[in-house]
Amino acid sequence: MDATRDRQHPTLVPEVGEDEALDAYSRVVTTVAERVAPSVASLRLRPRRDGRPGGAGSAVVLTPDGYLLTSAHVVATADRGAALFTDGRETSFEVVGRDNLSDLAVVRVDAGHLPAARLGDAERLKVGQLVVAIGNALGFAGSVTAGVVSALGRSLPTRDGAVSRFVENVIQTDAALNPGNSGGALVDARGCLVGVNTAVAGIGLGLAVPVDATTLTIIAALIADGRYRRAYLGIAGGARPLPPRARDELGAEAGVEVVQVVPGSPAAVAGVRVEDIVVAVDDEPVGDVAHLQHVLAGDRIGRPVTLRVIRDGRLMQLSATPAELTGG
C-alpha cells in the first residue's frame, strides 16, 4: 500500500545535481567570479615611517606583464608593498603613477604571465544591470559580492593638495563594498571590467570610477609618464540650458554657466566673467562640466584656445591659454 502511494505521488522536489540547482543568477555570478578573481590582487602597503600600518586594498591586472590598476587613495601612503593573488602567489609591487583627481593609480608587480581582466565600457551600462564586485574586503582576498547598478552619472569629489575636482559619471551600486574593496574590480555579467571600486557611501551604496574612454586615457598616461596632465582655465560653474535663440543658432541644448573666476587664472586674463555661458572650446561643444573637463586635455596646456561664450544674450569669442593644473 505504501509502495503504491509512493508511485502515485512522487516527491515534489526531485533530487538534482549541484549544477542543475544553480539558477541563472547564480550561474552568472559564479562564472564571473571564477573568471575574474584570478585577475584581482590584494595589496598590502609597507608600514609607515611612524610605525602605523601601511594599509591595504585591491588591484586589477591590466596586462600580463605586471601592470595593475587600483585606486590612488589605496597607495597614497607608500610607493611599494606586496601583492597577493588568489592562486597563492605573493610578489612585490611599486607604484608607477597615480592621479588623485581621478582616484586612479597604476602599480607594477614583479611577476609575469598574469591573467589580465577584460576591459568593458561603462558608457554601455544601464540602471538595474547586474554587476559583480571582487576585491579584498576587510582583508579577505577574493571576496565576491553581487548587486545591480543603482544609478549612473553620479559625481565623486576628489582632492590633490589645494586642488579639488569632481570625477564625473561615477557608477553607484548596491553590491556590498567594505574597506579593502577599494581598487578592486566591478565587472558586468560578461566578466568585463566596467569600474574600479572606490568608496563606500553608505549601507547598500557603493561607488566605482567608470572604465571608459576618459579612464583609459588616464591609465595610458600613468603607465607612460607616471602622471596625467590636465589643462586649467580657472572657472567654476555648472550646466545651464541655453536661451531659445542660442539653441537654434548653435544646435546645442546647454552650456557651462560661470559662477566663479579665479583671480589671475587663464580665464581671468582672457576676460571671462561670472554669468558667462561657455558653449565651446575650439569649436568643440561643451554642454556640462564633464564635457569641459574632457576637452581640457593635457595637449592644450600652453596653447591658445578659442572660448565661445554667451554674454548678455550675445555670442562672443575670447582667447585663453590654459595652464597646467597642479596640486599642492
Q: Other CB atoms closer than 10 Å to residue 22's CB: what's the count?
A: 15
Q: Which residue carries 512522487 as its cell?
A: 10
Cell of 262: 579665479
Helices (H), the chain: 2-8, 18-21, 24-36, 213-225, 244-250, 266-270, 289-295
Give which of 84, 82, 110, 80 is closest to 94, Cα–Cα.
80
* Separation of alpha carbons 69 and 178, rounded Å: 18
The residues annotated as belonging to the active site are: 73, 103, 182
d(CA 237, CA 306): 18
* Plot region of 180 (φ>0 → left; ψ -120 to 50 → alpha; else → beta): left
State the amino acid at position 312 in one-letter form: D
Pairing assessment for the beta strands 277-281 and 284-285 based on DSSP bridges: antiparallel
Measured CA to CA, the distance from residue 260 to residue 100 in angstroms comes to: 23
Cα–Cα distance between 304 and 101 in angstroms, integer?
A: 24
